[in-house]
Amino acid sequence: MLLGHLALIVAAAFTGAAVYINVAEHPARLSLDDRALLAQWKPSYARGYAMQASLVIAGTLFAVGAFFAIHDWRWLLGAAVLFANWPYTLLGIMPTNHKLKAVPEGAASAQSRAMLVEWGRLHALRSALGAVATLIFLWCLQ
């Protein structure tokens, strides 16, 4: 089942990237001073968003394709969990992103740092959604 394996691979790649952000990149970034913290987050976020958004779409499409190939509802469940990253990002994280992007780097402060700490907590749910989708896809391939 090629489509199912591709859905699994893409979901695992998404999860790995999301977990890396939460476990390594963001904690390291938080060790910087306020100005450098915000300056590093802005381009990192822009590149990460493009990559992770693409992985969510690709993984979702592969899983939906797997569903149509074998009519196993579990593929749709995994697709829905993986795709949930989009509305969660738009509704749950984007308000914080917009506030952070509006702060000029020279105006970074304890307030922007607090928003970035919160951003890390919000991003952790993206990691969890990816992990759950990956596990569902593994279940489908059993």
- pLDDT one-digit tens code per residue, 46-97: 999 999 999 999 999 999 999 999 999 999 999 999 999 999 999 999 999 9
Query: Do the Cβ atoms of 125 and 57 come closer than 8 Å?
Result: no
Structural domain including 100 reads 2-140
Alpha carbon distances (Å) from 132 to 95, 122, 138? 25, 16, 10
Average pLDDT value for residue range 2-18: 98
Give residue 1's pLDDT.
87
Is the pLDDT confidence value at 11 over 90?
A: yes
The pTM (predicted TM-score) of the whole model is 0.94
Indicate the number of domains in the chain.
1
| b/e per residue 102-123 (b: at least 16 CB within 10 A) | ebeeeebeeebbebbeebbebb
Alpha carbon distance 55, 137 (integer Å): 15
